[in-house]
Structure 1
Amino acid sequence: MSKTQRLAGRTVLITGASSGIGARFARVAAAEGAAVVIGARRVDRLEALRDDIVAEGGRCLAVALDVASEASTIAAYDAAEAAFGPVDGVVANAGITADGLAEEIAVEDFDQVFAVNVRGVFLTAREGARRMRKAGIAERGRVVLVSSITARMVTPGVTAYSASKAAVSHMGRHLAREWARHGPNVNNLCPGYIKSELAGDWFETEGGRKQIGKWPRRRMLDEDALDPMLVYLLSDESKGVTGADFTIDDGQSL
């Protein structure tokens, strides 16, 4: 457990927490003292993560969650409130990709990317804000939307994913403006490339190694690189920060 406990007294709901940076975020938030609600479709992985967090002294609830479904999202918040009380921190992290050239990608895959990456983020953030306002805690509420450096980069083969993340970034600014007076802070966290299940084995291939070679520092982002910014954005310290984009990419997008 962290000695700083910067999230003590908070309840944080994290989507897409069954693997990758979502699972990492859950461990970090719990170590900082938050009660953590982890959601995803792969419940077996969530339960294993929950057991690890609890064994380390944290508080954690695992909930089955399909972010593209409003009913599933509402049910997840209901379960969170029943276990830990009102949620005052939200990390809308769930995301998928459908790689392929624009002329070749199936429209069903394109639609699914937007259903999860855009509608899912919207439903997660909106339900969180509604609950915070109803509970009278909106002013201390924190919503973090996980976007990507691909939102402002042009890379062949990831049109659907990149466009969805551009939508997420702009959505974050809109929500921040709408909720500026009576709602939670909303900020965008835009990571660079990290070794993860989402990236698959691409960066082990010749093409992936060439891509890394074009970056100024020629390396992937360390897995702990996002931790300080995540904790800051969920904490009381970010009271005066809303509608901002935070790019953490070790210079990959330069």
Structure 2
Amino acid sequence: MQTTFGLTGRRALVTGSSQGIGFALALGLAKAGASIVLNGRDAAKIGRARQDILHTCPEADVQALCFDVTDHAAARRAIDGFELGQGPIDILVNNAGMQHRSPLEDFPAERFEALLQTNIASVFNVGQAVARHMIGRGRGKIVNICSVQTALARPGIAPYTATKGAVANLTKGMATDWAQHGLTCNAIAPGYFETPLNAALVADPEFTAWLKKRTPAGRWGKVEELVGACVFLSSGASSFVNGHILFVDGAISVSL
């Protein structure tokens, strides 16, 4: 089982990994044996995240690669430079994302554009840059982070829902184009988790009461509960799983 699910000798780049889901996944992959490359725009926050992982896993190999995932040229420069100087990126977790809540009729155009760039263009930018190297090696694992909003909508977040639906379809497109080169490209669709992105909702007793009633599991998810899915999709255990969207949501997406 350790051979099937183990990640020893593999290097994983996790975008948006200074906090929340990205940090939890980076820590989980480190515990599974992977070398970790943290990413974000804030070098200080990434530095603190690195120290936090090393505090928990003193033997882990943790590096930082700061660049703006919404900048196509910057992403390619950073990844090409890392591959040349440090070695291959075997696993990519496209996690960087943002949220903005507003009624659709009042949604600011500039926030819509920011959502498009952060939630979907970043997956293309980083995914393409990393895949070019993976294709040359004939292997690689890409895990994109979708959302329960990939399948469901809720008032006030229509543009976010649109971006996460696009991530799901881009994941399918990646698998369709790149499976022939030995890559597996899948996605995780988290339900409602306690993260900084959801801080306002977690703090709202009315929303939490609704969520507990709406979710068959009856609670918020904990970010650690996403790690198993990420390890599975990053490991040899998922060698013939491709283009799949794995919902980790306490059954909210399958119930009325």
Bin for the TM-score computed over the shorter chain: over 0.9
Mark the CA change 1:76 to 1:29 in structure 2 (over 3 Å): closer, same or farther. farther
How far 1:3 sits from its partner (Å)? Answer: 11
Q: Does the 8 Å contact 1:53/1:59 carry over to 2?
A: no
For the pair 1:252 / 2:248, whether they are aligned, the reply is: no
1:5–1:33 contact (8 Å) kept in structure 2: no
Q: In structure 2, what is the Cα distance between the partners aligned to 1:183 and 1:217?
A: 37
Deviates more, 1:106-115 or 1:222-231: 222-231
Contact 1:16 1:93 in 2 (8 A): yes
Aligned residue in 2 for 1:11:
11
The reply on whether 1:44 has 2:60 as its aligned counterpart is no
Q: 2:128 matched to 1:129?
A: no
1:211 and 1:74 map into 2 onto residues whose CA distance is 43
Q: Aligned equivalents of 1:104 and 1:245: distance in 2?
A: 31
Secondary structure class of the residue paired with 2:246: strand
- Is this contact kept in 2: 1:191–1:247, CA < 8 A? yes
Verify the 8 A CA contact 1:216 1:252 in the aligned structure 2. yes
Structure of higher RCO (CA pairs closer than 8 Å, 6+ residues apart): 2
Give me the identity figure in percent. Answer: 30
User: Cα offset for 1:79?
Assistant: 4.7
Take 2:30 and 2:78, find their aligned partners in 1: how far apart are those partners? Answer: 18
Deviations 1:22-67 (A, max 9, x none): 0011111111111111101122111011123334210111121211
Does the aligned pair in 1 maintain the 2:215–2:250 contact within 8 Å? no
- 1:5 is displaced (CA, Å) by 7.6
**Are positions 1:184 and 2:183 aligned together?**
yes
My pick for the range that moved more, 6-15 or 216-225, is 216-225
Offset of 1:4 from its aligned partner?
9.2
| Aligned residue identity for 2:25 | F
Using the TM superposition, name which of 166-175 and 209-218 deviates more: 209-218
SS in 2 for 1:109: helix
Gaps of 5+ in 2: none
**Distance (whole Å) between structure 2 residues aligned to residue 200 and residue 230 of structure 1:** 23
1:188-225 CA distances to partner (integer Å, 9 max, x unpaired)? 11111100011122122144124313222321012221
The alignment of Structure 1 onto Structure 2 pairs a total of residues equal to 250
Provide runs of 4+ in structure 1 moved above 4 Å: 2-5
Q: Paired residue for 1:103, among 102, 105, 114? A: 105
Measure, in 2, the Cα distance between the counterparts of 1:216 and 1:30. 31
Provide TM-score, normalisation by structure 1: 0.92
Q: Deviations over 1:118-144 (max 9, x none)?
A: 00011111111101123x2x33x1000
Structure with the bigger percentage of helix: 2
Q: CA deviation at 1:84?
A: 3.8
Q: Which runs of 5+ in 1 are unaligned?
A: none
Deviation by residue 1:161-214 (Cα, 9 ceiling, x = unmatched): 111000000110011001121141100111111000111221221441243132
TM-score, normalization by structure 2: 0.92
Kept in 2: contact 1:11–1:84 (CA 8 A):
no
1:20 is aligned to 20
